[in-house]
Structure formats: C-alpha cells, structure tokens
C-alpha cells in the first residue's frame, strides 16, 4: 500500500509500511515468530532475505518501512529507545572524539555518557537545549533533544545543524517528544534521528521500542552492524504491536495536544502552581521557536508543586491522573522526576496527557489541586 507525499498525516499513519494488497491476506500481516528460517541448501542465505532472526525478520522490516515513511529516512528499530541512542553513540564515537549532549535532556543518556562514554575516552560536553552552546570545532557528534525531556525547551535545529556541519560535526536529534508528526529533523538539517517508540509513537503503554533514522548509508551501516552484533532487536510481536498502533497516531496526538493546551492554560493561571512549561503556550520561553519549527505541539507539559508531599496529595486526590513514568500513552500520567535521580526540583512534575475527554480532565485536575 504505502503512502503518497501529498497524503495528510492521518492517511500516512494508517497506510505507512503496509504491503501491497493481496486477495485473502490481511492489511497488516501477523507477526512472524522465527529464530532460524529454512535456507536454500545450495545458495544458503544469499537466496532469501531471511536467514536468522537476529538480523532478519519480515515483521520488523515492515515496521521500519512504516516509521521510515513518517520520518523521511531509512530506519532501524531497537529493543528500546535507550538501546537506539546508546547504539548510535557507540557505533559513531571513538576514543578521543568529542560529543555534545543536552544538559537538560533524558537523564539516563546523560548518565550513560558520564559513566560509559567518558570511561572509554570520549570527551563529553553538555549544553542546555535552549543554549548557549560551546564551539563545535573538533566535535564529532552533537545530540539535540527537542522538545527536551522533561523541561520542554526547544532547540533551533536548522541553525545548530548549520553551525555543526560548518565545523565538521554530525547532528542527531532525539525526536521522542515531538514524534515524526510533530517535526521531521532530517528535513531540518539533522543527519540522524533517534527516538523512543515506547512513548507517543506507539502510545498504548504496552511495549518497549526505539529507532534510528537517517538518509546516510555511512551512518546506517555501522548502526545496523552494531544492532546485529549486540542483538538489541525488538521481538516480532512488539514490532507488530508497534506497527498496528501507528495507525491511530494522528488521532491520539490531536487529543493529547488539545488536553495539554487546556491544562497548561488552567495551570498557568493558578497561584499554587509554578514553572508551567508547554511550548504551545503563548509566553512560554520556547513558544516562538516551537511555533516556527513544530508542526504540532506535544501532549506533555511540566510544572512545579513545590515539594514531594504536595505532588503525592495531588495524585491521590485525582481520579484521572495516574502516577507513572514514561509518557505519551492513552491514559494521563504524572511523573515526579526527582524520584528517579533526575536533577529536577522535588516538586517538579512531568504530566503526560492521555486521550480522555478534555472537559473531564480539566475538571479532575481542578478538583485535585486544592488537596
């Protein structure tokens, strides 16, 4: 089936990566569960695209084709977002290289950089998503995360990509929060995209997934080799679940973004809530850049309730907001990031809006906050 470049987001999500229609066959074939496959006794693996399940699986290839249509590049999926990001870093970086990472980005990536990359001789620099950035002279890779998780600052991807390329550096963008419907970093000048598909991309809170997308064979080949050698592949059923879930991405994001806007407007007007961040909110520090760069705003916002006890009381009083980590699912969740060791204030909350009715969610949060 596939998609056309003129198709809208909803059509692209529904049709991305589907095989050509065949009478008597389903729209999306079921998962292929196989470790070894039958081989041609004379030609061996050269006769078929499938030889062994770690490098080869037709269900996984369909998912990669689907995400690739949305991101606009060639894709390799991984067992988790962390596996994809660390796989990219370890496939590209060598001892003596310098990497620039977001100081306010996903905490486990920062921990990996200081614990592992620095330990093998990679020089690690950190810069806030909103800047200022160091000189990119001598830098091998610049990793951006935009909008950043959990603080939701936005990076000027085209400007930073131009500056990095002028210095000879590669640019990677973590597209987890925006999703490829929110922005396509490869179109903005990035060399490679990394993302967690665990979150809004698949959106049902029932699988772990990550991916790397690029238009460069020089980057795709070492990433593919790294995945094959380390075995960081998703299972066939997870790949099938993820592809099935892509069909509703446009619909889910529309409700999640509407809910995030409604809650951001509610919270920014309350004296008992501080530090409200949502890049679609006029007055937000990232609003002007986000409005120019993002095709749609994320369903995630953040704010501060002052201390851990107040966060706990808010969650206990809420009927529709569950305490959980991760984000992008169908159910509205809140995560007090400091409990995971993230360097955020004790009352900082990242709230991920689900697809509940907007009026119900606003009423529930309004009732729970006085607790």
135-165 pLDDT tens trace: 999 999 999 999 999 999 999 999 999 999 9
Dihedral angle computed from the Cα positions of residues 36, 40, 46 and 47, in that order, rounded to the nearest 10 degrees:
-110
How far is residue 309's CA from residue 253's CA, in Å, rounded to a whole number?
Answer: 31
Beta-ladder partners of 274: 304
- What mean pLDDT value characterizes the chain? 97
Q: Spell out the domains of the chain, with CATH numbers in brackets.
A: 9-246 (3.40.640.10), 250-368 (3.90.1150.10)
End-to-end Cα, the chain, rounded Å: 52
Token readout for 216 is: 């460069």
**How many Cα atoms occupy the beta-carbon half-sphere of 92 within 13 Å?**
25
* pLDDT at res. 302: 98
Instruction: List CB contacts of 169: < 8 A, sequence separation 6 or more.
Output: 100, 136, 139, 140, 141, 142
How far is residue 114's CA from residue 107's CA, in Å, rounded to a whole number?
Answer: 11
pTM of the entire predicted model: 0.96
Cα-flanking dihedrals φ and ψ of residue 156, to 5°?
A: -80, 85
Angle at which helices 217-230 and 81-92 cross, to 10°: 120
How far is residue 31's CA from residue 132's CA, in Å, rounded to a whole number?
Answer: 46
Which tens digit of pLDDT belongs to each residue from 27-40? 999 999 999 999 99
Give burial (CB, 10 Å; 0-12/13-18/19+) of 333. buried
CA angle 252, 362, 104 (to 5 degrees): 65
Which tens digit of pLDDT belongs to each residue from 247-279? 999 999 999 999 999 999 999 999 999 999 999
Beta pairing, strands 141-145 & 322-323: unpaired
Beta-ladder partners of 101: 126
How far is residue 216's CA from residue 214's CA, in Å, rounded to a whole number?
Answer: 5
Res 96 pLDDT > 80: yes
Residue 98, SS3 per DSSP: strand
How far is residue 89's CA from residue 232's CA, in Å, rounded to a whole number?
Answer: 14
Q: In what helix (H) or strand (E) does residue 351 lie, and over which residues does it extend?
A: strand 348-352
Percent of the chain residues topping a pLDDT of 70? 99
Instruction: List CB contacts of 364: < 8 A, sequence separation 6 or more.
Output: 318, 319, 320, 321
Distance of CA 175 to the CA centre of its chain: 5
């Amino acid at each position: 089936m596939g998609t056309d470049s003129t198709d809208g987001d909803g059509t692209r999500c529904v049709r991305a990566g589907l095989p050509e229609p065949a009478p008597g066959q389903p729209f999306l074939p079921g998962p292929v569960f196989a470790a070894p496959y039958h081989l041609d006794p004379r030609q061996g693996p050269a006769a078929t695209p499938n030889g062994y399940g770690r490098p080869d699986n037709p269900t996984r290839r369909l998912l990669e084709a689907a995400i690739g249509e949305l991101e606009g590049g060639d894709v390799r999926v991984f067992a988790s977002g962390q596996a994809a990001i660390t796989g990219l870093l370890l496939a590209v970086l060598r001892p003596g290289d310098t990497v620039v990472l977001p100081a306010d980005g996903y905490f486990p990536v920062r921990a990996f950089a200081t614990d592992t990359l620095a330990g093998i001789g990679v020089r690690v620099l950190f810069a806030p998503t909103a800047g200022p950035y160091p000189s990119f002279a001598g830098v091998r890779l610049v990793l951006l995360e935009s909008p950043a998780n959990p603080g939701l600052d936005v990076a000027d991807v085209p400007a930073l990509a131009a500056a990095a390329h002028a210095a000879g550096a590669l640019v990677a963008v973590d597209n987890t929060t925006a999703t490829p419907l929110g922005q396509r970093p490869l179109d903005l000048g990035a060399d490679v995209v990394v993302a967690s598909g665990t979150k809004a991309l698949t959106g049902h809170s029932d699988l772990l997934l990550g991916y790397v997308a690029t238009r460069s064979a020089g980057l795709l080949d070492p990433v593919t080799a790294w995945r094959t050698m380390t075995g960081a592949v998703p299972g066939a059923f997870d790949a099938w679940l993820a592809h099935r879930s892509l069909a509703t991405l446009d619909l889910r994001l529309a409700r999640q973004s509407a809910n995030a806007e409604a809650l951001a407007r509610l919270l920014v007007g309350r004296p008992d809530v501080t530090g409200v961040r949502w890049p679609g909110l006029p007055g937000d520090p990232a609003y002007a850049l986000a409005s120019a760069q993002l095709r749609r705003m994320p369903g995630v916002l953040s704010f501060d309730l002052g201390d851990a006890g107040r966060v706990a009381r808010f969650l206990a009083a809420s009927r529709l907001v569950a305490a959980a980590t991760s984000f992008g699912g169908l159910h509205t969740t809140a995560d007090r990031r400091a409990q995971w060791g993230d360097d955020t204030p004790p009352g900082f909350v990242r709230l991920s809006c689900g697809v509940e009715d907007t009026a119900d969610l606003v009423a529930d949060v309004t009732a729970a906050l006085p607790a």
